[in-house]
Every structure is written in structure tokens, then in C-alpha cells.
Amino acid sequence: MRKYPTKKVMKKTVIGITVVGKDREGIVAAFTNFAFSKSGNIEKVNQNVIKGIFGMYLEVSFSKTVDVKRFDAEIQSLAKKEKMDVSTHHETNSQKNIAVFVTKETLCLKTILGNAKSLKGKISVVVSSERTLESLVKKAKIPFVVIQEKDQQKAEEKIIEICKKYEIDLISLARYMRILSPNFVWRYPNRIINIHPALLPAFPGALAYAQAYERGTKIVGVTAHYVTENLDQGPIIFQDSFKVDPNDSLEKIKAKGQRLEADTLLKAMKMHLENKLEVRWRKVHIKSK
């Protein structure tokens, strides 16, 4: 049998670049031209402007070896020149750093902490808007940071610094009861996972279980999704549900729902950390092996 030479598949390096700042002309060109000057191929680009704030995500691939430190230093020089806040994200096989955002509900956080060893990542910090869960987190020997600043912009500025300090790769919103602005969300594209107590898009908002109870729904579900600038409208990762008995009380439905929320959020986190998810055209696809 004739043997043919095997074709070597070049492994490419992929770098994600986020650019956030005040909107003005020339920003897109400045950063895309930078990528081209480094022999990069732009595979994804997404940009948006809301209330004068510009956000862009570039995914650039390189067929040749890239000096990551030099690349980061040079793009930061460009960021300073263009007066934009720029961060880069490099996909590696190393352990991912996770930040869990909480307020006062315990079940999601307890489930994540209880299954921390099964995650392909490290829970590096827990960020909260109040101190209710402080003892639970400190018992797990994880840094706990409280941001009680009421001004949204100032609060997010502090959170951004925390995420930079711990080099966060994934943010899990474990019933975090504050809405994140586009200025924050754009910095972590498809790297913020939220859990919503309904099968989206039905019953939006904080009173989902009460709405479902009042309408006599026969099935109650939960949705884990990536966070975008549009509330509860990001790409859906995973959904699950349970049947409702007509005799179930609101309290019983809530208890069942909260347990399912915790399990579904954990599952979505695991899928993300195991690199099983890919977002294409605002839909989440499960990668084939």
C-alpha cells in the first residue's frame, strides 16, 4: 500500500481584543490596522455604541508564533495613544480564573463552592454588593470583596480593577442583583454567565416565579446565558425545567426553581471552562469532539 506524507496542521494562536471608550471616528481602523500589521487575520469583529460609549471585540488569529508580551505591550501603547481602555484575552490550556458575583441568595454560591474541585478553573474572588455571604466565602478561604458604591459607574470602575488584579477569565453571576452596564459587559464578551429564573424570553425580570405562579404555568424553567448589553437577551447556553403540580405553593415552586438555578448555572460554567461552547451569530453551539 502506497503511503502518502501526512499533512501537518498548523496550530494557530488566537487573541481576543476588547476596546472600550468614548466613541469617535478612526477607532476601528486603528485597531484593525494594528492587527494586520502583526500579520493577524481578523476572524471575528463586533462593535456597538450606546450613549456615546464605544465597545468593540476583535478576535485575531496568527499562523506564526506570537510574542504575547510584546504584542500586549504594543497594543497598550496604541490604547494610550487612542485614549481607549484595551484588554487582551489569550486562550490557553492553563487554569482559568473565575470571579463569582453575588448579593445575598446563598444556593447558587453554595453549589459552586461545593463543586469547586470539579471545575476546570479556580474561584479566585467573590465580589458582592453587600456582606450577607461574607462568612460563607471566608470559610472557603476565597477573597471576598464588597462593593457597596451606589453610583453604578464608580462601582464598576472598582470591579474592573478587581477583575484585572485577579486576571479573571470567567465571571459567574450567582444571583447578582445589579445590572451591569455595556461599559463593563463589553470587556468580557461571552465570558459572563448569568442564570435567569425562567425559560427566556418569557416572564422577564426579578418576579419571574410569581408571574409563573399567577399564570398557572405547568412548567417552570431556568436559563443560563451569556450576558450582553441587552438585559436577559444574551446567547442561551443551557435550559432546564420541572413540572408544576396545581397544588404546589409559591414557596415550593421557588425552592424547586432555586435548586435548578444553581445546578444549571454550575453546568453552564463547566461547559464554558471545558471549552465546549462556541458563539456564532448570537447562538451558542456545542463543539463536537
pLDDT of residue 156: 95
HSE, CB side, 13 Å, CA atoms: give it for residue 56: 24
- Domains delineated in the chain: 13-90 (3.30.70.260), 96-286 (3.40.50.170)
Question: Cα–Cα distance between 83 and 77 in angstroms, integer?
Answer: 10
pLDDT at 109 over 80: yes
- Give the pLDDT confidence of 18-63 residue by residue, as tens digits: 999 999 999 999 999 999 999 999 998 989 998 899 999 999 999 8
pLDDT at 288 over 80: no
Which positions ≥6 away from 278 have C-beta within 8 Å?
A: 284, 285, 286, 287
- Give the pLDDT confidence of 124-160 residue by residue, as tens digits: 999 999 999 999 999 999 999 999 898 999 999 999 9
HSE, CB side, 13 Å, CA atoms: give it for residue 116: 17
With a pLDDT cut of 70, the percent of the chain lying above it is 92
Which of the following is catalytic: 232, 240, 248, 263? 232
Cα 32 to the chain's mean position, in Å?
Answer: 24
pLDDT of residue 92: 60
Which positions ≥6 away from 118 have C-beta within 8 Å?
A: 270
**201 falls in which pLDDT band (50, 70, 90)?**
low
pLDDT of residue 279: 87
Concerning whether 85 is annotated as a catalytic residue, the answer is: no
Nearest to 185 by CA among 8, 38, 50: 50
Strands, DSSP E only, in 137-234?
Answer: 144-146, 170-173, 192-196, 219-226
pTM: 0.83
pLDDT at 7 over 50: no
Question: β-pairing, 85-90 with 13-22?
Answer: antiparallel
